[in-house]
Structure 1
């Protein structure tokens, strides 16, 4: 049986982000099908490693096929490890798994050098990479947002030098290195057309990237709702995410304050609930922002409960201020049958087109207007709900993935289990 090794920059048991969640769901699905599959994640930098690992510990095993490696940090500009011995350990571990297929869901924490060495050591293996964001293009955390906060629409060596404060020649060399690394993969995947087009504009050949949405299992049917239920939900809005500057939570709070400052009180009370963030975390990030009375912080939630929680709201708000590619919260909202109010850029605009309400990115007044346009309107809610299509499920993802990457799971002599071996 062909062996698949799914590699992620992080592990969802330690950090819950879209890329690692997509990777882990793929692993769980293939494992449930009886495939010979392994998952390898990492901690993000020395801080997380010190939190979860003992002094000399290199690996956490969550199961016989489920591992998290100790990440010691790496140079985000070159995508290389500072110490060669850190790269040695990751390379040796991945090589020992002797995969027929290596599917990388990122290269952060894994390293470009690790991929080069593994590719050279296993020339017959199939190498796949899902491009979850723009790290290869943008040295500013892969977000294509300038240090000033402005959106960046294209990378050039001069513009990047002004943003990141390095000589332009460094960005010429970085682009060459990133393109060379991506050329090592047999297949490149993107969860959105937006991201595919960005990479093609940057230098990846047209037709090289296949677009496959990340898989998410979901209920097949949703119960019908009465007009009274829709009316009650039409006043309930929610945010699901983290208290990071790029998630735009401050934009939402400012919008709520603008609504609350209006003279006319709405007939249906407005409620905006924040999931994934507590009040103290928000206050540390934005200490000068006063929280309106209509905003309530609900703190952390279990990822597996997200879709169920979302069903209790009329609208989910995603106010991110950077080029989100394919946020998992959009898939979850579709699975819940709950429409969204979304920033009008990137994968958010693409993924909510036709069933969501979009507003000008980073504009609290535009967001306030979008909220008020549907608040207390059960007919608008019913209309938008009727346009929601279910997200691609994991079975559908696995089928599209296998077809796009020309993967045929054939019976072979079983390979030996993982073990240490000499460096190639």
Structure 2
């Protein structure tokens, strides 16, 4: 991990760091000084492992897809994060962070959410630990993810619709940071992606690394090898991708393919393909690739997928792209929808729209018959059913 891990200043190569208002310096410094000690303590490891197993339902299965393997002429396994409690990988991170928050003496939790899965996962662990929870969500996302909003409220969370900007994930994050600035003493901000000021990108990646840890063990059981030839994951902020690749980063024989949201096309002006369309800038406390104008104003992103509709990227993924360690493919809306409907029809699995981008990226790579591929199915498609129903005529083309 030396080559691709974060340094003491919180940077992955040129990306990362902590660019924060003075009022948050104490909160962030407290996290920086304590997170590794907490994560490496035996009491945390014991509590985290117990809840991942008995509450979240881990390990998640590694499923050999007969349909995808036949279509692409190699072995394609799906890492079934969609089968976790709350329906996505997000629960891994929220369990870990609320355990950290308790150890830091925090009594109130805030979060941002786009697709709603992180919001639901945060509300879930707050109910479990009986802690106050406030979730910020762009009004556009509130409307297209209405079921998840109702789940959060049922779990006891206060959901705050954000009406500024494009009313999506970026704007929800802005409001969550404003809240944190006003309540630094008692509040912990559970960031849902590998974004934000150091130590969040590293902390979230470590908590999600249970995914790659399990992949290694499961491949040994199924293929008598610890590493695949390819890893595929969708990437917006990048937490499921970071978790998928964490234990394989220094293995150059493992090819990493990341699928970002092309929207209506990388050059259309309606895209969330940050690695393709972005440039170096600062967003939400870290230096990374950002979709912005020449004078540094954030460009509004677009994706059919609420969870990928973000104008930045985790600094670890910006570094992997810059160093060519990862191949990044932009997948447009129609390609993602087609991939989602195909997996549903031929494998009996309705994937989240985010995961559908990774599935579509399989069509862009030529595999050898001997290749073993692992693709992380980051979430299930319950939250996206209204979107899928609107595009149901696509089914007739399959």
Largest Rg, 1 or 2: 1
The structure richer in helix per residue is 2
